[in-house]
Amino acid sequence: MNSDKIPENIKSMFNDLAQRYDFFNTIISFGLHKIIKKFAVNELNMKQGSKILDLCTGTGDIAGFIKQRFPDSDVFAVDFSEKMLSIAASKYPDIDFSLQDCCDLHFEDNYFDAVTISFGLRNIENYSKVLYEAHRVLKKDGVFMHLDFGESPEFLNTLFKLVIKLLVIPFVKDKDTWAYLIQSKETFFTPDRLIKIVEDKGFKLTKKKNFLFGVISAQYFNAC
């Protein structure tokens, strides 16, 4: 566990960041973040009428794309940032958003056909508890999708830092927040290491998809 990831500190950070979150994501991804999220969701092999849960939903984009892709499904989404959820609910009124800690979900066992998490696991102190909870609420053979940064070429890592340094940090007060976000990207597990960790928690990898030359990586598992 990382002392920098004390839950109350992370929650406060994302509450403070909420109003600018979508705007700055668009800047640092050159407008590609929503396209990649949509591609990742399109790789989910789900039936209409499924029950799907998005963890660490933030401002709700993944949940929104899931509902768009599977309109007859019941889509639920949780986050522990009140301000993030408020924005998400205003963007996607057809989704059931709730204030929850993904380390302690308020759902029954074996309830969901799929659970997703994007750009969230690396901000959680007790990631093992999140994986336990995801497995608990999933049906047997249910799908777990994880999306985050992958192993990108060094010149792209340098470009990412440069964009934040030149186009984001000069215009924000919370410079420590962006320093943390860069650090969390650099210190999180590689996709291959993450796959081993997730499989140790009762999942089996079914496929892995890379986007933007590996800058973003999605892994798909079945619950055993």
Q: How confident is the model at residue 2 (pLDDT cuts 50, 70, 90)?
A: very low
Starting at the edge strand that comes first in sequence, how are the strands of the sheet with 203-211 ordered? 96-99, 74-79, 51-55, 112-118, 138-149, 216-223, 203-211
Answer whether 36's CB lies under 8 Å from 209's CB. Answer: no
| pLDDT tens, residue by residue, 22-41 | 988 888 777 889 999 999 99
| pLDDT tens, residue by residue, 102-155 | 999 999 999 999 999 999 999 999 999 999 999 999 999 999 999 999 987 666
Question: Structure pTM?
Answer: 0.92
Alpha-carbon distance 150 to 188, whole Å?
9
Q: Give the CATH superfamily of 3-223.
A: Vaccinia Virus protein VP39 (3.40.50.150)
Domain ranges of the chain: 3-223
Least confident of 43-47, 48-52, 181-185, 199-203: 181-185
